[in-house]
Structure 1
Amino acid sequence: MPKMDRRITKSQIAIKKAVTELMTEKNFDDITIQDIADRADVNRGTIYLHYMDKYDLLDKMIDEHINKLWETTERVCEMEWVDATKTYFEYFESNYLFFSTMLASKAAPSFRRKFLEFLIEAFKDEVDKTKNHSLNADIIVKFAANAYVGILESWLKEGMPYPPYVMAKEMGILLERIV
């Protein structure tokens, strides 16, 4: 794969940061390409060079993070729940602005849906059939995924009051009990 020009990378990072910051200030529907360009300190044409419109930009940002979560899943699949969960919470912490904005935004319901789909798929093979033999695996997985999103959303909204390792320990224990 050819290496991307650093100027392109810098522009894309600035554009993504700009749209995320703007989403904390106003409704996504009210954000214009010009707003994004001004905040990112790039020309409108630079945005259109990489994205069809602001919706394409948002979709690509969401897909990028979901893909990174899948890459993380591949790396941590053999770890214990606590260690694996710590890796995720460190990722959420390092991408605080994105995740807190997406989970709080009513304009990005596709993020919540895609994030839940990711978690459901990731938890699907983790259900302990002997421990949960009388319960429906599909319901267990959906319960765990929705609980995970709720806890993450609360942690981010409260300004990450606990470090990732504390969240990982607590969530890891709870997930072991549930799944």
Structure 2
Amino acid sequence: MSKVDRRILKTQEAVRKAVIELMSEKNFDDMTIQDIADKANVSRGTIYLHYVDKYDLLDKLIESHINQLRVLCEAGAELEFIEATQIWTEYFAENHTFFSLMLTSKGAPYFRTRFTDYLIEEVRKEVNVTKGKNEGFDHEVIVQFIASALVGVVEWWFSNESPIPHQALAEQMGRLLERNLS
């Protein structure tokens, strides 16, 4: 595997950071590649070396966060729900600006859909309708219910400027998952 040039990584990080900063100032649709280039202190051509357009850039930014959530989910696969949820809420807190922008009115409208789709994929692995509290329920109803609830709670947390500490959020979400998936 070839090593990526540190200058490329620094440039890509500057561009990603610029997009997030600009999204806190204006709607994504009103943003231009020139705005991003100016904020990142790079040329437009440099951005086009790495991304097709601003939508590709945003898509790759979103995908990188979804992929990191996948990694965290795999790392927490053997943990109890509360401990696994703690890993997620720490990541949300560390990347507060990104998730807050994506889940509020200034965010990219399709992030919520991508996030929901990812959670559906993960919850589907956990739901058991052959025994326990969910016995006899339709598998897909339970999956949709839990994934939508998780998105709603996370969205509420960011939209209301983190009204409880991320540790408390993790504990309560973990307990709710235990109740509904055990």
TM over 0.5: yes
Instruction: Map 1:8-19; keep pairs closer than 5 Å.
Output: 8-19=8-19
CA distance in 2 between counterparts of 1:145 and 1:7 reads 39
Deviating more after overlay: 114-123 vs 17-26: 17-26
Which range moved further: 129-138 or 71-80?
A: 129-138
Query: Could you tell me how far apart the structure 1 residues matched to 2:105 and 2:19 are?
Result: 12
When normalised by structure 2's length, the TM-score is: 0.92
Separation (CA, whole Å) in 1 of partners of 2:90 and 2:59: 23
Q: Which residue of 2 aligns with 1:116?
A: 116
* 1:55-94 correspondence to structure 2 within 5 Å: 55-94=55-94
| TM-score normalized with structure 1 length | 0.94
Q: Deviations over 1:64-118 (max 9, x none)?
A: 1111111111111111000000000111111111111111146623211111111
Which residue does 2:155 correspond to in 1?
153
Aligned residue type for 1:161: P
Runs of 4+ in 1 over 6 A off after TM superposition: none
8 Å CA contact 1:14–1:40 kept in 2: the answer is yes
List alignment gaps of at least 5 residues for structure 2.
none
Provide the identity percentage.
54
Counting matched residue pairs gives 179
| SS of equivalent residue, structure 1 residue 61 | helix
**Aligned residue number for residue 172 of structure 1:** 174
2:25 is equivalent to residue 25 of structure 1: yes
SS at 1:25's partner residue? coil
2:33–2:53 contact (8 Å) kept in structure 1: yes
Q: CA RMSD in A?
A: 1.4
